[in-house]
């Protein structure tokens, strides 16, 4: 039985694509930039850098600046990527859109009295804290563990060892729920913790590279797995 639930935040509970889009457009508006026309390029650059971060190939400090530096170079934009990133992260912290059903699911899990729930995230600490504690689901979770504060990121085993040691959870009674194969599922595999892959887009995965104990395509499918 899973008593301890480790939920990823972005693209699992939070509709990060919607949050990201709104924050990006708002920030571009402040700089008189056409955010709609360059947003697709930003997403491609940003996602590529985050994939490198998951593989420990780039630091968080470099990532958050390089994404805008590369974007501005591509479109010949004369803006300071450091200042722009600061403004963007502040706006992103104000965007707290949850997936449909996420708030009720978390509330039902909490009110069942059967589970302790935690957030595990690789996001930027200041942004994740603002979004999480400003959201209606924060009251259901016992703590949030952010890679930037820990010094290790998912999927590194050290990240999960820190979470286990700090929270006092029991490895064999824990379930990780997340959308990312490379950070959430791989992290669970590295740390010998059971995993549930949230896969709303019905993506294909390599059974050789990743081991998923459960695969769901809708968050409410967790109700059957956890029996609430």
Shared domain for 184 and 114, answered yes or no, is yes
> Is 8 noted as a catalytic residue in this protein?
yes
Domain holding 210, by residue range, is 4-15+98-226
| Count of the separate structural domains present in the chain | 2
Shared domain for 82 and 104, answered yes or no, is no
pLDDT of 99:
97
Shared domain for 194 and 175, answered yes or no, is yes
Among 93, 114, 146, the domain-final residue is 93
Mean pLDDT of the chain: 95
Among 93, 116, 134, the domain-final residue is 93
Let me know: does 155 contact 174? Beta carbons within 8 Å: no
CATH classification of the domain holding 72: 1.10.150.240
Shared domain for 140 and 58, answered yes or no, is no
pLDDT of 110:
97
What's the whole-model pTM score?
Answer: 0.92
Shared domain for 60 and 119, answered yes or no, is no
Shared domain for 219 and 108, answered yes or no, is yes
**Using one digit for the tens of pLDDT, what is the confidence trace for 109-153?**
999 999 999 999 998 999 999 999 999 999 999 999 999 999 999
What is the share, in percent, of the chain residues with pLDDT greater than 90? 91
Which residue intervals of 125-205 are DSSP H helices?
125-133, 147-150, 157-167, 186-191
Shared domain for 190 and 126, answered yes or no, is yes
pLDDT of 177:
98
Q: How large is the average pLDDT for residues 196-208?
A: 90
**Using one digit for the tens of pLDDT, what is the confidence trace for 38-84?**
999 999 999 999 989 888 899 989 999 999 999 999 999 999 999 99
Among 41, 68, 93, the domain-final residue is 93
Shared domain for 103 and 119, answered yes or no, is yes
Shared domain for 76 and 179, answered yes or no, is no
Cα-based angle 52, 53, 55 (whole degrees, multiple of 5)? 65
């Amino acid at each position: 039985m899973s008593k301890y639930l480790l939920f990823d935040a972005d693209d699992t509970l939070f509709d990060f694509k919607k949050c990201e889009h709104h924050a990006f457009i708002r920030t571009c508006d402040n700089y008189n930039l056409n955010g709609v026309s360059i947003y697709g390029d930003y997403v491609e650059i940003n996602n590529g850098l985050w994939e490198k971060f998951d593989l420990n190939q780039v630091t968080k400090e470099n990532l958050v600046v390089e994404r805008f530096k590369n974007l501005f170079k591509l479109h010949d934009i004369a803006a300071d990527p450091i200042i722009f990133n600061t403004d963007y992260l502040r706006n992103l912290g104000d965007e707290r859109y949850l997936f449909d059903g996420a708030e009720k699911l978390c509330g039902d899990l909490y009110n069942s009295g059967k589970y302790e729930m935690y957030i595990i995230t690789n996001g930027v600490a200041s942004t994740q804290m603002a979004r999480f504690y400003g959201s209606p689901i924060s009251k259901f979770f016992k703590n949030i563990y952010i890679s930037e504060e820990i010094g290790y990121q998912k999927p590194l085993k050290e990240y999960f060892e820190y979470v286990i040691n700090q929270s006092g959870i029991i490895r064999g009674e824990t379930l990780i729920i997340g959308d990312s194969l490379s950070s959430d599922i791989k992290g669970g595999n590295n740390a010998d913790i059971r995993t549930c892959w949230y896969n709303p887009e019905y993506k294909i995965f390599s059974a050789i590279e990743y081991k998923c104990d459960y695969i769901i395509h809708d968050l409410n499918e967790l109700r059957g797995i956890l029996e609430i």
